[in-house]
């Protein structure tokens, strides 16, 4: 549109499937990321970063047919086909091959960054989202898978989620092994690997679409809610029922699930290898002290990406079921071979930051903190701005995050304090002309003041309450007074 002056105005709007983060949202995200990073580093993972754009050839075909459709495809300035990364795992596999002589295996890395999928936007589903990944390359033992699962549990506990004996579980990590489903399919005469992948993608939808729709997709297909046809796998009825019976297996303990799965599988080399791997994984989890409420074995877990080759894992918060899985991963021993002529076993997990933060909010686990700033310096109109800057500099030198009001000199002290309250700052430092001359300064506890006044309606009570949370100290004692108030 064009305004009367002839200048073109652009409508301010966010691209479909993308979102902005205002200060309160960023404060919550930063708090969660700090907790995640502390756990990752405690387990010996080193941080890396890679470009958000990769050559298209590096990404295409790695995640499966659906992922290929969701790639944001671009052209480089040199007219080369490129795309935005859809996860952080494929770039890690590329990095391992590219720097094979520099990285010493086994190599543990963590990576936090944005990824992009041209998916259909919906509640909790965006086209740009942040993943927080941990991966280990160069170790084939399921002991490493157990460590990754333990990391997932420790992240949950770091943000305040607990599983108490006899109480309600606030998180749960589900674990399966894709080789178990492969063994079942081999025993049923299904040998084609593309068919295996299609079956796994269908089973992965079980929690979202339900048993009846999964049964239809394993057979001739179905029509989704929007009226679009979904291609079926084309399995016969006995094979479909064998798969559904297998994914329905449960048990009171991890070991009981393994025993039940062993009974449900045909006797074959594939079955025995897969079951032995799960038994070893159960023993490693026990050695790490990972309890049964924290981690369960669930044969219905598939994970949708094609590159998984062994154990897979997924975490959910029962208090926010509508958010789905907030963390997941698995073993992908064949992915690095896409970039080099040597096999490099690898496994890892990823936290979906947006979904995790949303779920934590629904569970009441996010802190009340809405900003990292602790203090705003305000003043009466007769105070020179240079004096405000001196106060702010002194507080910042003491590592106290400080804002300073520098605006219209006609703005009264009350409006300045209202601005500090609107930004949820806990403390205001008030520089007045008479106090400045007397060598004193005032420190106001804004949080306490808000609490004291929230139910007051009488004007006189309100006036008195406004001074209860404020102290005046000698100028030299400013930092001590602010630190003491922040501690309280």
Over residues 172-181, the pLDDT tens digits come to 999 999 899 8
Over residues 199-210, the pLDDT tens digits come to 888 888 888 888
Q: Which residue has the higher pLDDT, 88 or 455?
A: 88
Report the distance separating Cα 216 and Cα 202, nearest Å. 10
Question: CATH number of the domain at 23-362, out of 3.30.930.10, 3.40.50.2020, 3.40.50.970, 3.30.2130.30?
Answer: 3.30.930.10
Question: Is residue 127's pLDDT more than 70?
Answer: yes
pLDDT at 78: 96
pLDDT at 408: 87
Tokens coding 358 = 């949303």
* CATH 3.30.930.10 residue ranges for the chain: 23-362
Instruction: Classify 375-487 by CATH class.
Output: alpha beta
Radius of gyration of the chain measured on its C-alpha atoms: 28
3-class state of residue 144 by DSSP: helix
Over residues 254-293, the pLDDT tens digits come to 999 999 999 989 888 989 999 999 999 999 999 999 998 8
Tokens coding 301 = 């877990």
Report the distance separating Cα 402 and Cα 408, nearest Å. 19
Mean pLDDT (the chain) is: 90
Over residues 392-409, the pLDDT tens digits come to 999 999 999 999 999 887
Report the distance separating Cα 201 and Cα 194, nearest Å. 11
* CATH 3.40.50.800 residue ranges for the chain: 375-487
218-226's contacts with Cβ under 8 Å and 24+ in sequence apart are 218/243, 218/244
Mean pLDDT (whole number) for 25-54? 97
How far, in whole angstroms, is CA 146 from its chain's centroid?
20
pLDDT at 172: 95
178-252-287-162 Cα dihedral, nearest 10 degrees: 100
Q: What is the DSSP string of 152-185?
A: HHHHHHHTT--B-TTS-BS-EEEEEEHHHHHHHH
pLDDT at 452: 57
């Amino acid at each position: 549109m064009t305004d009367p002056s002839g200048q073109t105005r652009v409508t301010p709007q966010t691209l479909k499937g993308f979102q902005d983060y205002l200060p309160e949202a960023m404060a919550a995200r930063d708090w969660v990321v700090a907790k995640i990073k502390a756990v990752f580093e405690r387990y010996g993972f080193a941080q890396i970063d890679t470009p958000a754009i990769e050559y298209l050839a590096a990404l295409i075909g790695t995640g499966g047919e659906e992922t290929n459709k969701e790639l944001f495809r671009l052209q480089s300035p040199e007219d080369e086909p490129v795309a935005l990364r859809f996860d952080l795992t494929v770039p890690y596999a590329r990095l391992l091959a590219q720097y094979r002589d520099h990285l010493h295996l086994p190599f543990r890395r963590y990576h936090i960054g944005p990824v992009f999928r041209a998916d259909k936007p919906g509640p909790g589903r965006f086209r740009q989202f942040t993943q927080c990944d941990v991966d280990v390359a160069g170790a084939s033992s399921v002991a490493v898978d157990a460590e990754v699962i333990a990391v997932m549990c420790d992240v949950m506990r770091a943000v305040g989620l607990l599983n108490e004996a006899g109480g309600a579980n606030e998180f749960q990590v589900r674990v399966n092994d894709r080789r178990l489903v492969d063994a079942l399919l081999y025993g049923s005469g299904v040998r084609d690997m593309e068919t295996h992948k299609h079956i796994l993608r269908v089973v992965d939808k079980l929690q979202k679409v339900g048993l009846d729709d999964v049964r239809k997709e394993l057979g001739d297909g179905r029509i989704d809610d929007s009226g679009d046809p979904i291609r079926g796998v084309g399995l016969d009825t006995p094979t479909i029922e064998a798969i559904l019976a297998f994914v329905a297996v449960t048990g009171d303990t991890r070991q009981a699930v393994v025993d039940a799965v062993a009974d449900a599988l045909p006797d074959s080399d594939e079955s025995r290898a897969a079951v032995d791997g799960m038994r070893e994984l159960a023993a490693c989890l026990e050695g790490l002290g990972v309890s049964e409420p924290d981690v369960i074995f669930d044969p219905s877990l598939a994970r949708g990406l094609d590159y998984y080759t062994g154990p897979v894992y997924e975490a959910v918060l029962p208090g926010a079921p509508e958010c789905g899985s907030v963390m997941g991963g698995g073993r992908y021993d064949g992915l690095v071979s896409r970039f080099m002529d040597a096999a490099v076993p690898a496994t890892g997990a990823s936290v979906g930051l947006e979904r995790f933060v949303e779920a934590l909010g629904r569970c009441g686990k996010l802190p009340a903190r809405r900003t990292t700033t602790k203090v705003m310096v305000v003043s009466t109109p007769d105070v020179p701005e240079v004096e405000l800057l001196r106060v702010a500099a002194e507080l910042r030198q003491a590592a106290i995050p400080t804002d300073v009001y520098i605006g219209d000199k006609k703005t009264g002290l009350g409006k300045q304090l209202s601005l500090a309250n609107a930004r949820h700052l806990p403390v205001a430092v008030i520089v007045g002309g008479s106090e400045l001359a007397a060598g004193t300064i005032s420190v106001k506890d804004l949080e306490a003041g808000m609490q004291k006044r929230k139910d007051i309606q009488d004007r006189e009570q309100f006036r008195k309450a406004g001074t209860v949370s404020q102290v005046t100290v000698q100028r030299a004692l400013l930092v001590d007074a602010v630190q003491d108030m922040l501690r309280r």
